[in-house]
Amino acid sequence: MSASIGVERLQDFTTWLESNGYHGFLGEIGTGANDTCNQALGNVLAFLHGNAHVWTGFAYWAGGPLWGNYPYSIEPTNGVDKPQMFVLMPYLNQASD
């Protein structure tokens, strides 16, 4: 996997949204807690933010105590945030440009 995989997968659909006058919402995104995954997550979030004229937002998968050791979970462990949260935080509660 590369840090650009998510953006690569969103580019064609973003072009389609633009060409057809639609808006998209990324219904699920989730990554592991390693450096490459966190870079990929950051790249996707920056891409979505940079294309806010067609992307209305995203939902992260998954959170909550029932997920246990699930690798994509962002549920804090003993009050400590998962690494993915540090990537997500700058993109939460942002209004579209």
Per-residue pLDDT tens digits for 45-86? 999 999 999 999 999 999 899 998 899 999 999 999 999 999
pLDDT attached to residue 94: 65
Per-residue pLDDT tens digits for 9-26? 999 999 999 999 999 999
0.85 surpassed by pTM: yes
For the record, the structure tokens of 24 come out as 């998209």
Model confidence at 1: pLDDT above 90: no
